[in-house]
Amino acid sequence: MQFVLLILLLVCHFLADYCLTTPQMIKAKASGKKLQHVFLHSCVHAILMGLAFVAFSIPLKTVLQLFAFEFFTHFIIDYLKGLVGRLFPAYADNRQKPFWVLYGLDQLLHLLVIVAMVYMAQQ
């Protein structure tokens, strides 16, 4: 059951990060500016994952806690990634290795949050 939930959350992450991200969200995430778009992007993540938890009959109190955890961690990770890119141009240039290191770190942190949420959902 945990494995299926993990796969579903990974699919939600893919959909929210790549399929449902608007051009405004992409610009905001890249620059760490226009935080309303990073906010909306984080809401999309939290809503999709919240629906996944509801589908697995996770208690409502836990779903709300996980929703908040996903929203805040996603917002902070994406904001900080944009801030680093803005302060250090090599991290914003996809032709340079630092960009890909930062991108990989961003995805690793998001995946660790997802693993943590699967664990928390089972408690």
pLDDT at 123 (0 to 100): 86
CA distance 25 to 82: 11
Amino acid letter at 43?
C
- Go through 64-96 and write b for each residue having 16 or more CB atoms within 10 A of its CB, e for each that does not: ebbbebbbebbbebbbebbebbeeeeebbeeee
The confidence score (pLDDT) of residue 83 equals 94
Amino acid at position 92, single letter: A
Give me the pLDDT at residue 112, please: 98
Look at residue 106 in the predicted model and tell me its pLDDT.
Answer: 97
* Crossing angle (nearest 10°) for helices 35-55 and 97-121: 40
Q: In the Cβ-directed half-sphere of 104, how many Cα atoms lie within 13 Å? A: 5
The total number of residues shown for the chain amounts to 123
State the pLDDT at residue 33.
Answer: 81
- Per-residue model confidence (pLDDT) at position 6: 97
CA separation (Å) from 107 to 4, 54, 74? Answer: 20, 24, 10
What residues of the chain score a pLDDT lower than 50?
Answer: none
pTM: 0.94
Please report, as a single letter, which amino acid is at residue 2.
Q
pLDDT of residue 30: 84
**pLDDT of 70:** 98
Tell me what pLDDT residue 117 has: 98
What pLDDT was estimated at residue 13? Answer: 98
pLDDT digits (tens, 9 = 90+) for 64-84: 999 999 999 999 999 999 999
